[in-house]
């Protein structure tokens, strides 16, 4: 545990000094500020438009941090050859990987706190009431970030930075869209059975959507923006099950990345 703590703190300090982090955070805060103007221009409920847009920006900001910062955690050490020095010390490779992840996780917590405060300020200055339930959406955003960062570590443990970024973004899209695609395909299948001459649903597309649903983490579990914005009550014990879902996938992904990372040759 001592080694994990030391690596995590070193990773935290390294990430905090990273200029890319501040660029991404500034961009996210700028979009949150834009939400105020968006609410004023909207003909719909201003409070709901501002909150929904802002929560979506927070989710995409977490994706950007996972891709540009999470992947760089390992790749920088490999490219600068400093990983050879680090791994020559009396630490296991899984300790190095998990320590790096925990360091970035601390940075993610700080970023979520900053973005949540910015969201509350945007709502306040736009004249909208501040709903404490938005904290639940921030909590779920943290777990979404945690899982997608673990996905980024899996790919960066054996692949190049560009390929890792593309694969991580692909997992993000597929995990969010697979459920909706399955519902759409099911609707189209029923319609094709009732309407003569209708185009049948492609079995390849249906199989691909079902496969993605099974093997990828379901990031839609953490998407409670609509329920929070519209005041819809969450199912009983929803936060507990979503937390277990995020924690389970995080542990699983870190285990996979540790196994691959331990077999990688850096010489």
Domain segments of the chain: what residues?
2-262
Residues 6+ apart with CB under 8 A from 262: 92, 93, 94
Taking the chain (267 residues) in runs of 10, the rounded mean pLDDT of each run is 73 69 65 60 61 76 77 73 69 80 85 81 71 83 89 82 84 77 64 59 66 78 81 84 92 88 68
CB-CB contact of 52 with 224 (8 Å): no
| Crossing angle for the helix pair 134-156 and 238-262, to the nearest 10 degrees | 20
- The Cα–Cα gap between 217 and 213 comes to 8
**CA count, 13 A, side-chain hemisphere, 211:** 6
- The Cα–Cα gap between 209 and 233 comes to 29
The whole-number pLDDT of residue 248 equals 93
Q: What is the DSSP string of 164-213?
A: HHHHHHHHHHHHHHHHHHHHHHHHHHHHHHHSTTPPPPPHHHHHHHHHHH
The whole-number pLDDT of residue 126 equals 67
The whole-number pLDDT of residue 183 equals 66
The whole-number pLDDT of residue 177 equals 77
CA 3 to chain CA centroid, nearest Å: 27
Q: Tally Cβ neighbours within 10 Å of residue 56.
A: 15
- From 182, 172, 190, select the one nearest 209 (Cα to Cα): 182
Tell me the C-alpha to C-alpha distance, in Å, between residue 46 and each of 4, 39, 51, 125, 194.
46, 5, 9, 12, 41
CB-CB contact of 260 with 153 (8 Å): no
The two structure tokens encoding residue 124: 């306040």
Q: What are the phi and psi torsion angles at 127 (to 5°)?
A: 80, 10
The two structure tokens encoding residue 48: 């709901």
The whole-number pLDDT of residue 247 equals 93
The whole-number pLDDT of residue 101 equals 87
DSSP category for residue 77: H
**DSSP H or E stretch at residue 29:** helix 19-41
The whole-number pLDDT of residue 200 equals 60
């Amino acid at each position: 545990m001592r080694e994990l703590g030391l690596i995590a703190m070193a990773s935290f300090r390294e990430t905090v000094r990273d200029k890319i982090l501040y660029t991404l955070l500034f961009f996210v805060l700028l979009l949150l500020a834009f939400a105020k103007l968006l609410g004023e221009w909207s003909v719909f409920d201003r409070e709901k438009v501002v909150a929904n847009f802002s929560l979506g920006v927070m989710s995409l900001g977490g994706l950007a941090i996972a891709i540009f910062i999470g992947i760089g955690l390992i790749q920088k050490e490999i490219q600068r050859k400093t990983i050879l020095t680090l791994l020559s010390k009396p630490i296991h490779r899984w300790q190095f990987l998990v320590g790096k992840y925990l360091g970035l996780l601390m940075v993610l917590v700080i970023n979520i706190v900053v973005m949540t405060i910015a969201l509350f300020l945007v709502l306040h200055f736009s004249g909208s009431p501040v709903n404490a339930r938005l904290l639940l959406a921030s909590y779920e955003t943290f777990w979404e970030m945690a899982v997608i960062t673990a996905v980024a570590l899996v790919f960066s443990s054996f692949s190049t930075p560009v390929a890792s970024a593309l694969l991580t973004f692909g997992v993000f899209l597929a995990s969010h869209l697979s459920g909706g695609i399955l519902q759409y395909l099911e609707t189209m299948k029923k319609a094709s059975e009732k309407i003569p001459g209708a185009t049948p649903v492609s079995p390849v597309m249906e199989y691909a959507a079902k496969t993605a649903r099974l093997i990828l983490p379901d990031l839609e579990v953490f998407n409670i923006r609509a329920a929070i914005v519209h005041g819809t009550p969450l199912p009983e014990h929803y936060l507990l099950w979503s937390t277990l879902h995020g924690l389970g996938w995080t542990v699983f992904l870190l285990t996979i990345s540790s196994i691959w990372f331990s077999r990688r040759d850096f010489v």
